[in-house]
Amino acid sequence: MARILITSALPYINGIKHLGNLVGSQLPADLYARYMRGRGHEVMFICATDEHGTPAELAAAKAGKPVADYCAEMHDTQGELARGFRLSFDHYGRSSSPQNHALTQHLAARLGQAGLIEEVTEKQVYSITDARFLPDRYIEGTCPNCGYDRARGDQCENCTKQLDPTDLVNPRSAISGATDLEVRETKHLFLRQSALRDRLDQWIDSQQGWPVLTTSIAKKWLHDGNGLQDRGITRDLDWGVPAQFDGAPWQGMDGKVFYVWFDAPIEYIAATAEWAEAQGLDEAAWRRWWREDEGADDVRYVQFMGKDNVPFHTLSFPATLMGSGEPWKMVDYIKSFNYLNYDGGQFSTSLGRGVFMDQALSILPADYWRWWLLSHAPESSDAEFTWENFQASVNKDLADVLGNLASRVTKFCRSKFGEVVPEGGAYGPREDQLIADLTTRLRAYEAHMEAMEIRKSASELRALWVLGNEYLQDAAPWSTFKTDPEAAAAQIRLALNLIRVYAIVSRPFIPDAAASLMQAMGSDDWSWPEDLGAALATLPAGHAFTVPDVLFAKITDEQRADWETRFAGTR
RNA sequence: GGGCCUGUAGCUCAAUUGGUUAGAGCAGAGCGCUCAUAACGCUUUGGUUGGGGGUUCGAGUCCCUCCGGGCCUACCA
């Protein structure tokens, strides 16, 4: 039994996430966690809300609430949706937790003591009306290059020219439109990532089999231009982890907080500490997952994230852990994803374009979404959601191939033998062949799951379901029954057992349907079918079962048309 | 501008890293079955692998070039 630590990129607090966000980190992480638990491994699956930063403060202001209250509410909202999608976090924490405050300050102090923190005084744009410093992209104005009047301070969206906020003509605050902006000096702490460049480079080189997407982004940042740049890790904000604290190896940082990207990954660790506290366990309980000197040396740590998160997970966070000089567990494998687009364009929160997590659950059960999203996960390139594809995939795979199989087997048995596993007859060559075929497919499925090849895993799982239909067609118990009822009994006994096996192997993808199937088979034995012959003999003759309700109702053309219109966006 | 990814059947994707005749699923066509959610099974149509050039005994795979799509580019997260 292995110990596997799994973290999903933290969803940002400022609103409900869309399906693209879901499939980019939390959902595949959940798939992997569920699979590894199913195989009997010890899993720690961690997620949390990422609560700091300018957008959180602005969202709270817009909602007319104190930021702490806003975050607490959104944390609960997102948590409820996570439960709705059956995301099986061992702990769902908050980057604003006391544990994260303490750990972030601890690591920052260690970095400071190691000489890896530098104080830098820089000039930034301050908005008097908004009473805050403005990040470059929160300043708008006319592009000096092309004259576009809604250019942002970091780049003009129209002509793509890189800009400095002071380049803008008639600059204004993107928050309030205020024009009373001025350049002020402010002091910040910088993490001297450049000093760790060679160690990071060697560390990346030592990793085997990481997705190209992951390593190419890391390498780009390491070697582009003058190489890895130092990075500011503090901001002039109210809400966050205070950068000035007892024991800090610097002075004059009062009123400043750590940068959200500094404290967010640390929350992976802190959330595990939150977990320990919530479970009533001691410090050692979480440290054995994260400290190589306290038991984490045999942990395999896998991170899941969208490609936009890669630089922070391959460089900044490792730099933080390495630079601390303490034996923190570093990531072993980074699974990164491309983006999911919506019907020919991007998901858009502001335009209400695309399907968001709350809307998705309001129209269909989680398993439908889980199946489609995972079987179309954007692994090799960006993927696209269309209602037509969604309807076709879900109806065919879930309703026809899997759902109907369970239905035909249980209803046939009920009508001919009653609602018990029938006795009599014996397995022959056809059954041996089925077991052999299932074994081949299952081993392939396992290999793909181990390798986190998600689409391939889904395709192999579907092929496992198809084998059941092929067997039934070939064995034709409805025919056999007329001449040799005992043979039909053996065939149906096998088929009923197969349904239980399908429940087990399908559970990582479609946990609710899997539970329904298992319940219908009157069993609670979820042990992984290492030996399919044995697994298919688990339900003995005479064992009672029930005919499950329709497992997956089909999506009708009317529904599809309705949803297509409803989620197209306001303009 | 620079870097990276990507383009394979009508659609969604494979192809053991240069090796036989480019494979699946869906959609389409035909046949079969009648237990089942008008479900299932079998057979089958469909490709100048974005265009052009090159290297090689051999190219979807490597090189050059052109065309299209996407991402990143360090103060959004």
> What ipTM was estimated for this complex?
0.93
Residue span(s) of chain A under CATH 3.40.50.620 come to 3-112+259-337
Residue span(s) of chain A under CATH 1.10.730.10 come to 385-535
Q: Which nucleotides of B are covered by protein (CB under 7 A)?
A: 1-7, 11-14, 24-27, 32-37, 39-42, 69-77
What is the rounded CA–CA span in Å between residue A132 and residue A182?
Answer: 11
Q: Helix, strand or coil for residue A89?
A: coil
What is the rounded CA–CA span in Å between residue A502 and residue A464?
Answer: 8
What is the rounded CA–CA span in Å between residue A148 and residue A454?
Answer: 43
What is the reported pTM? 0.96
Which of A19, A1, A4 is CA-nearest to residue A333? A4
Residue A395, nucleotide of least CA–C1' distance: B37
Single-letter code of the amino acid located at A539: L
Single-letter code of the amino acid located at A554: K
CA atom of A235 to C1′ atom of B47, Å: 56
Do A239 and A56 contact (CB within 8 A), yes or no? yes
The DSSP letter of residue A60 is: H
| Per-residue buried b or exposed e for A213-247, using 16+ beta carbons within 10 Å of the residue's own CB | bbbebbeebbeeeeebebbbbbbbbebbbbbebee
Output the CA–CA distances (angstroms, integers) from residue A175 to A55, A58, A295, A346, A395, in the order listed: 10, 8, 48, 23, 45
Q: Helix, strand or coil for residue A127?
A: strand
Quickly state the pLDDT bin for A571 (edges 50, 70, 90): very low
Contacts of A284 (CB under 8 A, 6+ apart): A294, A295
Q: Does residue A307 lie within 7 Å of nucleic acid chain B, judged by its CB?
A: yes
Residue A242, beta-bridge partner list? A257
Average pLDDT over every residue of A44-56: 95
Residue A469, nucleotide of least CA–C1' distance: B40
Average pLDDT over every residue of A444-467: 93
Write down the pLDDT at residue A545: 98
Residue A155, nucleotide of least CA–C1' distance: B73
Average pLDDT over every residue of A163-177: 86
Reply yes or no on whether the pLDDT at A479 is more than 90: yes
Q: Does residue A271 lie within 7 Å of nucleic acid chain B, judged by its CB?
A: no
Phi, psi of A172 (to 5 degrees): -145, 160
Which of A5, A509, A28, A14 is CA-nearest to residue A306? A28
Fold of A385-535: Isoleucyl-tRNA Synthetase; Domain 1 (1.10.730)
Quickly state the pLDDT bin for A342 (edges 50, 70, 90): confident
Q: The dihedral of CA A416, A421, A423, A428: what is its sign? A: positive
Q: Does residue A220 lie within 7 Å of nucleic acid chain B, judged by its CB?
A: yes
Reply yes or no on whether the pLDDT at A569 is more than 80: no
Do A41 and A4 contact (CB within 8 A), yes or no? yes
Q: Helix, strand or coil for residue A82?
A: helix
Angle at A111 between CA A108 and CA A113, to 5 degrees: 110
Q: Does residue A380 lie within 7 Å of nucleic acid chain B, judged by its CB?
A: yes
Do A492 and A477 contact (CB within 8 A), yes or no? yes
Arithmetic mean of pLDDT over chain A: 93
To the nearest 10°, the Cα dihedral for A207, A208, A210, A213? 80
Q: Where are the alpha helices (DSSP H) in A177-211?
A: 197-205
Write down the pLDDT at residue A148: 79
**Which tokens belong to A376?**
């179309």
Do A64 and A231 contact (CB within 8 A), yes or no? no
Average pLDDT over every residue of A190-217: 87
CA atom of A409 to C1′ atom of B73, Å: 57
Reply yes or no on whether the pLDDT at A72 is more than 60: yes
Output the CA–CA distances (angstroms, integers) from residue A155 to A95, A138, A164, A169, in the order listed: 30, 11, 8, 13
Pick the CATH number of A3-112+259-337 from 1.10.3720.10, 3.40.1080.10, 2.40.320.10, 3.40.50.620: 3.40.50.620
CB atoms within 10 A of CB A22: 26
Do A386 and A447 contact (CB within 8 A), yes or no? no
Average pLDDT over every residue of A274-282: 98
Contacts of A166 (CB under 8 A, 6+ apart): A125, A183
Reply yes or no on whether the pLDDT at A280 is more than 60: yes
Write down the pLDDT at residue A168: 85
Average pLDDT over every residue of A215-237: 88
The DSSP letter of residue A533 is: H
Tell me which residues from 81 to 140 on chain A have a beta carbon below 7 angstroms from nucleic acid strand B.
Answer: 122, 124, 135-137
Do A543 and A522 contact (CB within 8 A), yes or no? yes
Quickly state the pLDDT bin for A114 (edges 50, 70, 90): very high
Q: Which residue is nearest to nucleotide B1 (CA to C1')?
A: A161
- Between A226 and A75, the more confident residue is A75
Do A292 and A328 contact (CB within 8 A), yes or no? yes
Write down the pLDDT at residue A570: 60
Q: Does residue A212 lie within 7 Å of nucleic acid chain B, judged by its CB?
A: yes
What is the rounded CA–CA span in Å between residue A347 and residue A129?
Answer: 32
Write down the pLDDT at residue A142: 85
Q: Does residue A412 lie within 7 Å of nucleic acid chain B, judged by its CB?
A: yes
What percent of chain A lies above the pLDDT cut of 90?
A: 75
Q: Helix, strand or coil for residue A69?
A: helix
Least confident of A38-42, A144-148, A386-390, A522-526: A144-148
Do A472 and A405 contact (CB within 8 A), yes or no? yes
Write down the pLDDT at residue A568: 80
Tell me which residues from 461 to 480 on chain A have a beta carbon below 7 angstroms from nucleic acid strand B.
Answer: 466, 469-470, 472-474, 476, 478-479
Average pLDDT over every residue of A366-388: 90
- Between A218 and A344, the more confident residue is A218
Contacts of A481 (CB under 8 A, 6+ apart): A416, A488
